[in-house]
A and B are shown apart, each in its own frame.
Chain A
Amino acid sequence: DIVMTQSPDSLALSLGERATINCKSSRSVLYSSNNMNYLAWYQQKPGQPPKLLIYWASIRESGVPDRFSGSGSGTDFTLTISSLQAEDVAVYFCQQYYTTLTFGGGTKVEIK
């Protein structure tokens, strides 16, 4: 199975600051035949199911605020929140769907 490693485990930032969450896969999730990265990002608030934010590594799901963006290719990916809002407090997970689905361990985002 592909192992997904997220960093940091948690981060605390002030409102309006930029949040950067990293996700590294143990092998490439870039499918050469279509040049797509098989990676998604989810947001999970306490007591709620995960919510899809980003798919194909960089495509924002409909309705997701544009302060959320995804980047990266191959084995290294980043989720960026450009200006942290109070409602962004949550745990964020990356997921690869290149092969048997696996998730990163999660990054908890809090307000300082």
Chain B
Amino acid sequence: QVQLMQSGAEVKKPGASVKVSCQASGYTFTDHYIHWVRQAPGQGLEWMGWINPNTGGTVYAQNFQGRVTVTRDTSIGTAYMDLSSLTSDDTAVYYCARGRDINIRWGSFDPWGQGTLVTVSS
């Protein structure tokens, strides 16, 4: 079945960077966009950006421009999200999610990864 498996929880100090991985299985990795969404504790969902795994092209939300970089390695079907200059406000669960429809950049998400908790604390 289609699955996205994310890397484990991270604890980082303010000013550091974090890199979260998202390994896809059960489908052709290059057929569907991968999105990144975060959820602060007890809060709603915030879209961060997407990558086209076929071309490597990316689009980022304005709130994260200059701080987030999404990449992929097609040989192992894995996408990565790198967030720099971390502050306590970046403490959140970070999700990757597959675009539901083939080659559609703006669409619904299905499925989602299990989430990766990133804690930023001094």
Contacts and interface: CB of A to CB of B under 8 A. Distances in A.
A62 to B, nearest CB: 9
Given A100-B47, A103-B44, A51 B112 contact: yes
Given A55-B100, A101-B35, A95 B108 contact: yes
B55 to A, nearest CB: 19
Interface residues of A, number: 22
A105 B112 contact: no
A25 B107 CA distance: 16
B113 interface: yes
A103 B109 CA distance: 12
B71 interface: no
A74 interface: no
Given A49-B113, A49-B115, A55-B100, A38 B106 contact: yes
Given A93-B45, A101-B106, 18 more contacts: A38-B106, A42-B109, A49-B111, A49-B112, A49-B114, A49-B115, A50-B45, A52-B108, A52-B109, A52-B111, A55-B108, A95-B45, A95-B108, A100-B61, A101-B35, A101-B61, A103-B45, A105-B44
Interface of A: 1, 38, 40, 42, 49-52, 55, 61, 93, 95, 97-106
